[in-house]
């Protein structure tokens, strides 16, 4: 029988490592949320706390937190030190899902296999739950990331990635490309370069930020930060291409959301521009690019290498 | 003839001071917003930039920025040093107005004398403009407040005030009190204590934060921070009571928004619980309490004293 102390020092398989890290993220996320307290004196109304809990703790791949923890470890820091930043990233991601799912935006009923926030509650509550998660993310980074200089840098990175030159801009550009934002002036059809420009902001920015934040928290040298940033850019785009492929080929039950919606809505996707095989090939090239970027990290980059390749094979 | 250098050192009248400070805030706000750039390569889509601009630069009393600048000066700092924090506060306030005005929330068509953001643009754009302003606020504080220790403290104060135990909680509680959040479980009628609990969060928290942020930026001693915090609590509540009175007695043209809406919606207001005279008396008492709190600051608190009294007489 192996003692748990011995087991903890063995190099765990990637899947086992990811499962353990996901559980640690989930526990920590739960602790950051306002309690569900029905007393009239509760600072956070129970309905708001329930809505935030419904969306934040309702499953999910936790990819952004995992990237942040793994980046910190790849730079010689501990996963534990990156947990607050990792949780903040998941809060920002979840807020963006809640708002994007609203009837005025993508109008989705299903997310992570459960009713979307405005379906489980109502639109007003969903808007506020999103606003609350976004704001709480900055509170968590500012209060809990150590040292203070890393906390401030992480607020900057997170705000830039999520803001009106990052994720919010990407969502706006995406709506315009679909022609669903009225009088948008968006082109009726575009190029793969325009599609990439959307995704670099809409999903890419918040997939790149975890790498930079993890590196900053671990006190990485500039070459280390740069290596992880190149990895993040490539992995972020590869992730999006696989997402587009899964919307065509994926299993709704595994995905926990509707599939086939992109083409219904006339969305710009990689398969639309490059075909299925061309898209797969591009995702593979990007994953290789991500792996190559990790070269300066040596064996410390092994888990991130494994993750980049595993993302190509994902089915949800 | 008085040289401008001499004039600048004269104690200006409060109105003149406020007008000048408002202009400085407006200039700085404009500089923080993404440019309106119709090129496809623009990081921020023109429509999003326009919507943020429409709401943020569309007038407004700029009360929260003014309180922040005046707090810094009252603690021996400069107004200039508090400008980034002041602008961030106005961004957070404006985001909250954009989201509160949405059809799913208060469903307002007019704000600051102009169409609300979702009327001038559309709902999706308004949701994103609000999200963008909230996120940009944290970027501005983290990047531009000096020194770094004050920046981090200001992110903490701002996030706590605006988040799910502050402003967002207050808006949720307000919707529940109106019974407009479905299945809310909110009481059909309440007490003045419950009303105060709503306002302490919905408007009070973001009126208190500017005082604390200004004091922190000026490197105030703990008694100074405490004095300004007491002032902020009292002024914040007095401001809300006057707001309730203006919804009954105010002039729509001056206010730049619909009046009489509170009673139509069956909203909890101070006049509903205390009558008009009782509400006026309470506002007066709170303004006096605010003035008394400034005692430790001596003559440096004069402008804040004047502002507390002027807020009682405001007509918009």
Look at residue A185 in the predicted model and tell me its pLDDT: 44
Q: Report the pLDDT averaged over residues A71-75.
A: 97
In a domain, B134, yes or no: yes
Residue ranges of B 264-293 with Cβ closer than 8 A to chain A: none
> Which of A128, A136, A184, A202 is the best residue to mutate to test the B interface, defined by the most B CB atoms within 10 Å of its own CB?
A128
Residue B124 and residue A201: Cβ atoms within 8 Å? no
User: Among the listed ranges A113-122, A302-311, B244-253, which one has the minimum average pLDDT value?
Assistant: B244-253
Residue B46 and residue A163: Cβ atoms within 8 Å? no
Look at residue B180 in the predicted model and tell me its pLDDT: 52
Look at residue A12 in the predicted model and tell me its pLDDT: 57
Q: Within 10 A of A182 (CB to CB), how many other CB atoms are there? A: 13
User: Among the listed ranges A8-12, A39-43, A306-310, B98-102, which one has the minimum average pLDDT value?
Assistant: A8-12
Closest Cβ–Cβ partner in B143, B169, B194 for A156: B143
In a domain, A135, yes or no: yes
pLDDT digits (tens, 9 = 90+) for B218-251: 999 989 999 999 999 999 999 999 999 999 988 8
Shortest distance, CA A61 to any CA of chain B (angstroms):
24
* Cis amide bond preceding A41, omega within 30: no
In a domain, A73, yes or no: yes
CATH label of the domain that carries residue A261: 1.10.600.10
Q: Within 10 A of A47 (CB to CB), how many other CB atoms are there? A: 26
Structural tokens at position A127: 């808007």
Spatial CA neighbour of B129 closest among B47, B48, B26, B45:
B48
Ramachandran category for residue A219: left, alpha or beta (phi over 0 → left; psi -120 to 50 → alpha) = left
Structural tokens at position B204: 């009070």
The ipTM (two decimal places) reads 0.93
Look at residue A189 in the predicted model and tell me its pLDDT: 67
User: pLDDT band at A10, cuts 50/70/90?
Assistant: very low
Shortest distance, CA A134 to any CA of chain B (angstroms):
8
Residue A132 and residue B197: Cβ atoms within 8 Å? no
Phi then psi for residue A121, to 5 deg, are: -120, -110
pLDDT digits (tens, 9 = 90+) for B193-205: 999 999 999 999 9
Residue in B closest to A186 by C-alpha:
B40
* A148 near B CB under 8 A: yes
In a domain, A3, yes or no: no
| Number of domains, chain A | 1
Whether the per-residue pLDDT at A110 is higher than 90: the answer is yes
In a domain, B5, yes or no: no
In a domain, B4, yes or no: no
In a domain, A2, yes or no: no
* A50 near B CB under 8 A: no
* A123 near B CB under 8 A: yes
Closest Cβ–Cβ partner in B131, B149, B168 for A99: B131
Residue B138 and residue A159: Cβ atoms within 8 Å? yes
Q: Report the pLDDT averaged over residues B45-63.
A: 95
Domain that holds residue A197: 13-313
B256: buried, middle or exposed (CB in 10 Å: 19+, 13-18, 0-12)? middle
Q: Where are the alpha helices (DSSP H) in chain B?
A: 4-9, 14-32, 46-56, 63-74, 83-100, 117-120, 123-144, 148-162, 167-177, 192-199, 205-217, 222-249, 252-255, 261-264, 270-293, 302-312
* A55 near B CB under 8 A: no
Closest Cβ–Cβ partner in A122, A124, A135 for B164: A135
In a domain, B1, yes or no: no
- Radius of gyration, alpha carbons of chain B: 19
* B56 near A CB under 8 A: no
User: Among the listed ranges A34-48, A187-201, B139-153, B175-189, which one has the minimum average pLDDT value?
Assistant: B175-189
Helix (H, G, I), strand (E, B) or coil at B57: coil
- B-chain residues near A50 (CB < 8 A): none
HSE, CB side, 13 Å, CA atoms: give it for residue A146: 6
Given a contact cutoff of 8 angstroms between Cβ atoms, the answer to whether A128 and B171 are in contact is: yes
Ramachandran category for residue B197: left, alpha or beta (phi over 0 → left; psi -120 to 50 → alpha) = alpha
Residue A169 and residue B143: Cβ atoms within 8 Å? no
Residue ranges of A 232-251 with Cβ closer than 8 A to chain B: none
């Amino acid at each position: 029988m192996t003692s748990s102390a011995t087991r903890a020092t063995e190099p765990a398989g990637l899947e086992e490592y990811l499962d353990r890290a996901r559980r640690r993220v989930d526990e920590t996320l739960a602790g950051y949320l306002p309690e569900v307290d029905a007393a009239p004196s509760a600072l956070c109304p129970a309905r708001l706390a329930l809505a935030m809990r419904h969306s934040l703790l309702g499953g999910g791949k936790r990819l952004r937190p995992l990237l942040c923890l793994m980046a910190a470890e790849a730079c010689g820091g501990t996963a534990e030190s990156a947990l607050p930043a990792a949780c903040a990233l998941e809060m920002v991601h979840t807020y963006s899902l809640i708002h994007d799912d609203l009837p005025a935006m993508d109008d989705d009923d299903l997310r992570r296999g459960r009713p979307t926030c405005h379906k489980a509650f109502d639109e007003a509550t969903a808007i506020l739950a999103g606003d609350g998660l976004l704001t709480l993310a900055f509170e968590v980074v500012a209060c809990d990331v150590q040292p203070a200089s890393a906390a401030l840098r992480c607020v900057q990175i997170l705000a830039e990635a999520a803001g009106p030159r990052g994720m919010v801009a990407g969502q706006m550009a995406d709506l315009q490309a679909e022609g669903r934002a009225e009088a948008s002036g968006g082109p009726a059809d575009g190029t793969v370069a325009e599609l990439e420009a959307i995704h670099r902001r809409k999903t890419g920015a918040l997939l790149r930020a975890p790498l930079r934040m993890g590196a900053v928290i671990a006190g990485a040298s500039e070459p280390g930060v740069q290596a992880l940033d190149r990895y993040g850019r490539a992995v972020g785009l590869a992730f999006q291409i696989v997402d587009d492929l899964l919307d065509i080929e994926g299993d709704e039950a595994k995905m926990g959301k509707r599939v086939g919606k992109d083409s219904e809505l006339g969305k710009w996707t990689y398969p639309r521009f490059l075909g299925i095989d061309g898209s797969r090939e591009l995702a593979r090239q990007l994953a290789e690019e991500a792996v190559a970027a990790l070269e300066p990290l040596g064996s410390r980059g092994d888990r991130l290498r494994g993750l980049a390749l595993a993302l190509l094979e994902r089915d949800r």
